[in-house]
Amino acid sequence: MEAELRRLQLELKQTMDMYNIACKEAITEKNKAKELNLWKLEKEYKLEEARLAEEMALKLVEKEKAKCKAATKEAEAAQRVAKLEAQRARIAEMEALKQSEAKKVSEAMTYDLRYRKYTIEELEAATNGFSQACKIGEGGYGPVYLGEIDHTRVAIKVLRPDAAQGRLQFQKEVEILSCIRHPNMVLLLGACPEYGCLVYEYMANGSLEDCLFRRCNKQVIPWQLRFRIAADICTGLLFLHQTKPEPLVHRDLKPGNILLDHNYVGKISDVGLARLVPQSGSDSVTQYCMTATAGTFCYIDPEYQQTGMLVTKSDVYSLGVILLQLITANPPMGLTLQVEKAIEMGNFAQILDPAVPDWPVEEALKFAKLGLLCAEMRRKDRPDLGKVVLPELNRLSELAQDSMNGIMRSSRGAGGVILPRQGQHPSLKLQVSIAT
């Protein structure tokens, strides 16, 4: 019995162990099934997430495609608009070019009515092919040649190809000189626009500068002629200032631009830098603001140089320096101070040009004081050209004429040189219209 009981106990124990093992295995399998289920759920979640992400990506792609398509359409539309604008611009440019060409033709036709148009062959024939033997001068614009056209001596100014402002000065000079005629303005006879050539009356005695400094064996100009030349310059300058519809300021008045004919009549030349200035609406002062000054140093109005404000009295300053040079034959640098000092020290006669032996010192002193007044630093201190300067210069010119008459009377029968008598100066009321 005991043995049977032990066997049963042993079998029970074995059964219980097997049961425990089976329970553990069942729990393990249950856990594994649970983990597998969780893994499956996680996989399904990830797959769903991937599917949703793919759908969103597809939607974004479609959206970007739509944007790209819209952008392409906009770009194509913009390109079409740009082409249309470019076409319109080309049409407008062509129209502007046509109008410009028509204007040039019209201007050329207008100029043709104002001056004679020469061919380059005519000018070459007149100057022996622009030979050096015919060259009589050189300026910033270009060389000047002596020629003969229609049995008349002429001066031909040629535009240098490298002259930056030469073409503009050429057009301005033709524009101005073809419109005006005055005994104290150099006469423009014609031009050759294609080659930038200007044909002027020939001025036998050259420039005032050459005569004052006695270059090229020039004869000494007597004081009588110097006084008369001063009145000539002032008369021509006032004529420019009285042009209509707007005053004309020379801007480069200097002895080199004053030419003398065979009778030593002074005439203003080189108006290529001249500027038409509008009348100020607030007062009677004519002024015009320039971005850059033009002219020759020592002759430029100090206020114009500092402010760029151009007025008719800018030319009066230049005239003042020229007047002082006429009686001293000195360079312009510091000339006003030299004359002022000579007057203050009481040795004014010593500063007069020694080449002239018979200066009327008292009248020359009045002449000098007028020059100093014109060359005042402030333009408001300068005298009026028509009311003050010209009347005084005309008075001095008449004095000079009386002196020349005496010389002429004493020279008759003695074989002396008789200076030509000049009539009264031309009317200052001449008015012209100049196209701007």
The residues annotated with a catalytic role in the active site are 252
For residue 412, CA distances in Å to 407, 418, 426 come to 9, 8, 29
Dmax (CA) of the chain: 200
Helix axes 361-374, 223-241, angle to 10 degrees: 30
In angstroms, the CA 299 to CA 165 distance is 20
At 424, the amino acid letter reads: Q
In angstroms, the CA 301 to CA 240 distance is 17
DSSP state of 338: H
Could you tell me which of 168, 155, 134, 160 has the C-alpha nearest to residue 206?
155
Q: β-strand 188-192 against 116-117: which pairing, if any? A: parallel
Contacts of 12 (CB under 8 A, 6+ apart): none
Which residues are bridge partners to 137 per DSSP? 144
Tokens of 432: 């012209």
